[in-house]
A and B are shown apart, each in its own frame.
Chain A
């Protein structure tokens, strides 16, 4: 018998109509790496919760079928007992810190104390695990002071010291910046080699493709496909279940490069094996997009949170109507820059002009009329018990009448495809939907410029496609869209102008092709190439290829 055996598992959360899990049967062997993919709401996290017994023990609700983990029934064995066999790491690193310990070391030992592990053994395990995850040097730091990637590694360490047979990672990098994600992925890579059983839920399909022995595709609480990465990701019905195949697979499919077993390659190395030397690339000419009218002008801006410590120094920048992406690592000064533009922070030196007027004189609330800002965390703003009222809050504040406000709000909700949820309580929606509520609440105010802080976090492929569409629509309407982004694929195919920041300075400023050609600056800013671009480069393209169409137009099979 396999280590995890799930038979006809059905589950419904309390007070909901639809089954979150609908007849799932699967088995997972010891030592395997299983990837679980599927769009938001397809039941991935619920399945993870069922394996560790949180479903049904913690969430209650209606439960049928059986989940057997290492011979124990997950429905009835207490979670605290099952957690000896199964470890679970989830998205938000911050909420996984116990909050009771002010040293990383003590935090990591917190779980072991619950399992009555003797102190010497605790120390031994903590030392070796911290070492292994590359966070030994932080052991005396306060875990709350660490970066997202470091915090997430502390969370993984806190689970690994319990020496579970299976480790479940539920989108562990979805809330991290590129460097943080890399830190976590390199840990995952290392664990994979060590042979521990891993179940990984992940939206980053390229990663899952290269790690997994087998992949399970979920939709509406059902297993719609399972098999090797090639089998599942080559399948034609993948997109109809809301998942985009890896860049490699899409290109190989379009050019009909099949592996001997007639499936398509799913990793860059597989693709290279098949396609190397069999492609010839034409040069792609860059068409510089014309500058529009100036909207923002930042003159000699300096700013620091603590005196004598400038986060941004002597910055000169101007924004016209082109949709603009700002990229760079956390701490590069992106959010600070955005907040300065919005007037939430006042520059220590220099001035900021919006349509020729100095913003220093206006209050934030009065600027709301012309500059919109969408915060990262929707829960920092949502307070109305009804979605529509939440979205109407901004429009009413800036003096629209009830009727116009309602119209604008409905239009904005339609744009994020939440029109049918206008009367719902925002807290009954999932995080990715709440993010869309927050976005539409700013769109409804019809500002001249809108600043988005990490709009793609927590979004799946469909959500990202929707954001791409919204950016297009808004700039068509003449709105300036400025977005801080970590998703290079979206940067490459949706923005006419890209600004690379590092250490409070602008390293590069140009169109996507120019920026992604500047490999030195990218490395300095700790950024990666978009997947398509990287694939083109690996296969010998001279030009920077930004998206699938461009790739296919410039290439011929030889």
Chain B
């Protein structure tokens, strides 16, 4: 089945790291450079992200994400470089178009933030099963309903998209044009979208009942089929990452006070 989850188990160590350790890593990778404020910190974080992805054999799959983000970042460079309000010092020019230093620096910073965020998140997303994240969250006190939502969207959304094709066929069969001019396609919108929404409401209602009769709504204690096998580095790593965040915060506060 098509799943929109990006997770693949490629057997590397990164897949066996506890989701919480990865979450802590994301927190560190995002917060620390923010607190330190220098571009160098971003460079280090991005380098780390890439190193982790390489060692987890997942860099290739992150490529699509990176390419996608580059188009956004390029736009930011152009807009900031040309039009930022603080622009003063010309940096270079292409023909008669002048790019300014101040804007370019801001764009560089924003670009770093975006890339760093994307990469660190992709470490989690590419190497962790959504169901495992959900299970672990639930086991640590989050509501079972939240955990259910996290793990079910990944299979239910593709199912919904699958029905979209059937619906298009059904309406075309009744003489509705779905191709052609913009007006034709706009007219087709309601007949196409209404059945998606209503049939998924019907399905959701039925599914809610099916969950109910399997004891899902119960308030009692729950048990778990899978016990997460702790990777030996999980605990120390999480603590170290937390310490790094704390020390960055302390450093920040200290520099303010002085």
Contact = CB atoms under 8 A, between A and B. Distances in A.
A111 B176 CA distance: 44
A142 B225 CA distance: 17
Q: Is the interface of B mostly helix, strand, loop or mixed?
A: helix
B209 interface: yes
Given A365-B178, A368-B174, A380-B167, A116 B223 contact: yes
B215 A95 contact: no
Interface in B190-214: 190-191, 194-195, 198-199, 202-203, 206-207, 209-214
B215 A381 contact: no
A445 B225 contact: no
Given A102-B131, A398-B175, A115 B215 contact: yes
Contacts of A113: 222-225
A373 interface: yes
Contact of B195 (A88, A342, A381): A381
B172 A81 contact: no
A230 interface: no
A100 B148 contact: yes
Contacts of B227: 119
Contact of A119 (B199, B214, B223): B223
User: Which of A100, A144, A377 neighbours the largest number of chain B CB atoms within 10 Å of its CB?
Assistant: A100
Contacts of B175: 365-366, 368-369, 394, 397-398, 445
B177 A363 contact: yes
A162 B212 CA distance: 13
B174 A381 contact: yes
Given A119-B227, A380-B163, A158 B214 contact: yes
Contacts of A377: 166, 199
Given A83-B212, A100-B131, A162-B215, A394 B174 contact: yes
B65 interface: no
A442 B209 CA distance: 33
Contacts of A78: 217-218
B207 A95 contact: yes
A393 B194 CA distance: 14
Interface string A407-430: 000000000000000000001000
Contacts of B207: 95-99
A248 B40 CA distance: 86
B1 to A, nearest CB: 5
Interface in A468-508: none
Contact of B221 (A116, A155, A342, A442): A116
Nearest to A81: B218
A382 B174 CA distance: 11
A45 to B, nearest CB: 11
Contacts of B233: none
B86 interface: no
Contacts of B222: 113-114, 116
A74 to B, nearest CB: 12
Interface string B133-151: 0100000000010001001
Interface in B118-143: 129, 131, 134
Interface in A89-127: 90, 92, 94-102, 106, 109-119, 122-123
B170 A114 contact: no
A84 B215 contact: yes
Nearest to B194: A383
| Chain A CB within 10 Å, residue with most, of B212, B214, B215 | B214
A52 interface: yes
Contact of A144 (B159, B167, B169): B159
B216 interface: yes
A365 B155 contact: no
A379 B167 CA distance: 9
A79 interface: yes
Interface string A202-241: 0000000000000000000000000000000000000000
B220 interface: yes
Given A113-B223, A344-B169, A54 B174 contact: no
12 contacts: A79-B217, A80-B212, A83-B214, A83-B215, A86-B213, A98-B148, A100-B155, A144-B1, A379-B202, A380-B195, A393-B174, A393-B191
Interface of B: 1, 3, 129, 131, 134, 144, 148, 151-152, 155-156, 159, 163, 166-167, 169-179, 190-191, 194-195, 198-199, 202-203, 206-207, 209-227
The 7 closest A-B pairs by CB, nearest first: A397-B175, A80-B218, A111-B214, A368-B175, A383-B194, A114-B215, A394-B174
Given A80-B220, A99-B156, A394-B174, 15 more contacts: A78-B218, A86-B213, A87-B213, A90-B209, A97-B210, A99-B155, A106-B225, A111-B215, A114-B218, A115-B215, A116-B220, A144-B155, A363-B172, A364-B169, A368-B172
